């Protein structure tokens, strides 16, 4: 499984490369071949004749933004049927951790930390909740993050600013996420955990207070609910 965030980043990178190219048809052919797809296969997903793909690749037609979007979507759908092999390879080349990153967005404007807590149905466990703005969030699979993420990748998940919320899912006691944050060179503005089935580990709370990072437990039923709520807070940009 590949997250919506990963698919979106890859799709935008491919589309941008085609649009920016002085020979968009050649760029289309390059990506089609990188995805090991024939003109017939791509045409099938786009519901056009193979000759249409050929015309664009040979420069007989100039693709518009809608056609390029459909073209990229066709490549991704084909790769999905094959097990996301190419997308995973591209993600790794871009330092995107396919297993760990579930979603990641930047807010157009800062959002109050209290609004974030409300959105995730959060219970603050820190002794102090500062009055500050949150400018983005990253949702992580905690087990995959701890097992597979390198130091460089941890810096990537901070996005454009460290003034963001890190949301760790599949959490048992909450200790491991705070240990990871404790040793990381960059610190988030707040940590949210989802999934503790019993009392949060006391060490996690001590580390959060020591780092002066608000620590919140989300009571949302699912990760999808968390993401939906966070997306609804303000106009977003990727």
Q: Decide if pLDDT at 237 tops 70.
A: no
Q: Could you read off the pLDDT of 98-123 as tens digits, one per residue?
A: 678 888 888 888 999 999 999 999 99
Binned at pLDDT 50, 70 and 90, residue 238 comes out as very low
Higher pLDDT, 100 or 51: 51
Q: Could you read off the pLDDT of 86-99 as tens digits, one per residue?
A: 998 998 887 776 67
* Angle (nearest 5°) at CA 21 between 16 and 27: 85
- The model's pTM is 0.68
Ordered by where they begin, the domains of the chain are 4-93 (1.10.260), 101-237 (3.40.1390.20)
Average pLDDT (157-182) is 84
Q: Decide if pLDDT at 1 tops 80.
A: no
Question: In Å, what is the CA distance from 209 to each residue of 80, 88, 125, 130, 215?
Answer: 43, 37, 10, 12, 8
- How far is residue 142's CA from residue 160's CA, in Å, rounded to a whole number? 21
6 Cα distance to chain centroid:
5
User: At 15, is the secondary structure helix, strand, or coil?
Assistant: helix
Q: How many C-alpha atoms does 93 have within 13 Å on its Cβ side?
A: 9
Binned at pLDDT 50, 70 and 90, residue 158 comes out as confident
CB 33 within 8 A of CB 115: no
Give the pLDDT confidence score for residue 153 in this predicted structure. 64
Binned at pLDDT 50, 70 and 90, residue 58 comes out as very high
- How far is residue 50's CA from residue 38's CA, in Å, rounded to a whole number? 9
Give the pLDDT confidence score for residue 100 in this predicted structure. 80
Distance separating the N- and C-terminal Cα atoms of the chain = 21
């Amino acid at each position: 499984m590949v997250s919506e965030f990963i698919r979106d980043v890859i799709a935008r990178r491919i589309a941008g490369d085609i649009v920016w190219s002085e020979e968009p048809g050649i760029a289309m052919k390059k990506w089609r071949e990188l995805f090991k797809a024939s003109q017939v296969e791509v045409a099938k997903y786009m519901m056009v004749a193979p000759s249409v793909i050929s015309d664009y690749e040979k420069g007989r037609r100039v693709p518009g933004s809608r056609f390029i979007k459909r073209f990229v979507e066709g490549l991704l759908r084909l790769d999905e049927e094959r097990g996301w092999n190419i997308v995973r390879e591209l993600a790794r080349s871009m330092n995107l951790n396919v297993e760990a990153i579930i979603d990641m967005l930047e807010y157009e404007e800062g959002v109050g930390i209290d609004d974030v807590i409300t959105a995730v149905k959060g219970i603050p466990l820190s002794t102090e909740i500062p009055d500050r703005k949150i400018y983005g969030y990253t949702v992580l699979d905690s087990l995959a993050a701890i097992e597979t993420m390198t130091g460089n990748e941890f810096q990537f998940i901070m996005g454009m600013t460290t003034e963001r919320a890190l949301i760790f899912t599949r959490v048992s006691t909450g200790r491991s996420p705070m240990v990871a944050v404790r040793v990381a060179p960059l610190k988030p503005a707040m940590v949210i955990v989802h999934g503790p089935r019993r009392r949060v580990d006391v060490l996690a709370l001590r580390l959060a207070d020591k780092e002066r990072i608000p620590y919140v437990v989300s009571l949302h039923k699912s990760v999808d609910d968390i993401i939906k709520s966070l997306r609804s807070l303000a106009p977003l940009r990727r």
